[in-house]
Amino acid sequence: MAVIVGGIATTHVPAIGKAIAEKKHNDPYWKPFFKGFDYVHYWLARTKPDVAVVFYNDHGLNFFLDKLPTFAVGAAMEYRSEDEGWGIPVSRPIPGDPALSWHLINTLVADEFDVTMCQDMLIDHAVTIPMALIWRGPASSAKSWPVKIVPIEINTVQHPLPTLARCLKLGRSIGRAIETYEQNLRVVMVGTGGLSHQLDGTRAGFINKEFDELCLEKIVTEPEALTRYSIHDWVEQSGSQGVEFLNWMAMRGALTGRVSELNRNYHIPISNTAAATVVYDNQKESERKAA
């Protein structure tokens, strides 16, 4: 049976791609951010996942405002990226796991999530930057990262957006689907984007540390407590792009066991964002009893 080894969430600012390409890891601006990945790398070396399910929002590379699904699931053999115009290296292609994708899609539709199914899907910086941070190496390198991915897009761009509760439930459906998948796969859940940030309008540059800290506390053991915020409240508290936290909620929902925070790094600013990186353990009930 497949197991969910845990969850990782991190910001996806494009400027990180340039910093990686230029090896700025020890530059004073970047060091406090990149240091947050030492634990991620240590943890991955121990947990060795085969597949990453990546919850992210597309920023106009694959979907545009004319056709924008609330939820879309990749079911491709391979995911390519393209130049999005940020001046960062274009990522290497990342292999998919179509059999797992279809299992997730079947479960989601049975659970009444009518998702868009994508057998061809470009992935943007919201997937490729976290991959380069989590599994290391410039995104443009010819080497492959040691995991396959199932990218799951959540609309955080064009209102109306799905609620926090809906994204938590989407994650739960995926968590249950993975637990019933018969292949012996080790799966890590990844959520990208956030935390508080706003790129446009009169509040451009807005960051709310107090609210970010509340989110980082609540999401671990009480994610439901965050569902009382409407999307309107969220924009007010976290900025118009702070809604990328929906990807974090879905990641958290997919952790079906007892969840604890193994590591947290929070740093202001990276470009316009409050940048956070977390690692969550997901311990199954049966493993706890045996321990």
For ligand DHB, the closer of residues 102 and 266 by Cβ is 266
Active site residue 125: yes
Q: How many CB atoms lie within 10 A of CB 264?
A: 17
For ligand DHB, the closer of residues 44 and 215 by Cβ is 215
Tell me which of 59, 125, 232, 267 is the catalytic residue: 125
Identify which range of 36-44, 158-166, 172-180, 185-193 contacts Fe ion by CB under 5 A. 185-193
CB 221 within 8 A of CB 84: no
Please provide residue 261's backbone torsions phi and psi, each rounded to the nearest 5 degrees.
-85, 125
Query: Pick from 8, 13, 54, 189: which binds ligand DHB (CB under 6 A)?
Result: 13
Active site residue 197: yes
Give, as ranges, the residues between 241 and 270 that touch ligand DHB (CB under 6 A): 241, 244
129 belongs to the binding site for ligand DHB (CB under 6 A): no
Tell me which of 12, 103, 197, 267 is the catalytic residue: 197
The enclosing H or E element of 259 equals strand 258-270
- The 178-217 site mask, x for binding ligand DHB (CB under 6 A), equals ---------------x---x-x------------------
- Provide CB contacts within 8 A for 28, sequence distance 6+: none
Cis before 195 (ω within 30):
yes
271 belongs to the binding site for ligand DHB (CB under 6 A): yes
Query: Pick from 34, 53, 59, 74: which binds ligand DHB (CB under 6 A)?
Result: 59
CB 216 within 8 A of CB 271: no
Return the closest-CA partner of residue 154 out of 231, 243, 239. 243
